[in-house]
């Protein structure tokens, strides 16, 4: 099973991208996908594994928020 985290590309340098994960930015490997700032992506183990559209990204981010809130309540 693969656990991919959605984020938004804010900067690209060669084969590396800075991706924002809801206020936390990380440098990730962008070798597998051609990305540009503003693209929404799925990141797994420090690498972009796919691009997704903005609507899918927002829906996925909302599900993550709900899961985190549920875990915090338990």
pLDDT (tens digit per residue) in 63-74 = 888 988 999 988
Q: How many domains does the chain have?
A: 1
Q: Tell me the per-residue pLDDT of 5-29, one tens digit each, with 9 for 90 and over.
A: 999 999 999 999 999 998 999 999 9
The percent of residues in the chain predicted with pLDDT above 70, rounded, is 99
The pLDDT assigned to 61 comes to: 86
9 exposure class (CB count in 10 Å sphere: 0-12, 13-18, 19+):
buried
Q: Which residues contact 32 (CB under 8 A, 6 or more apart)?
A: 47, 48, 49
Owning domain of residue 41:
5-73
Name the band, by pLDDT with cuts 50, 70 and 90, for residue 1. low
Q: What is the CATH number of the domain that holds 15?
A: 2.30.30.140
């Amino acid at each position: 099973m693969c656990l991919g985290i959605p984020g938004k590309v804010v900067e690209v340098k060669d084969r590396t991208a800075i991706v924002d994960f809801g206020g936390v930015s990380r440098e990730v490997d962008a070798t597998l996908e051609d990305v540009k700032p503003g693209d929404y992506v799925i990141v797994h183990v420090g690498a972009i594994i796919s691009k997704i559209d903005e609507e899918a990204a927002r829906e996925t981010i909302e599900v993550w928020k709900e899961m985190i809130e549920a875990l915090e309540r338990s």
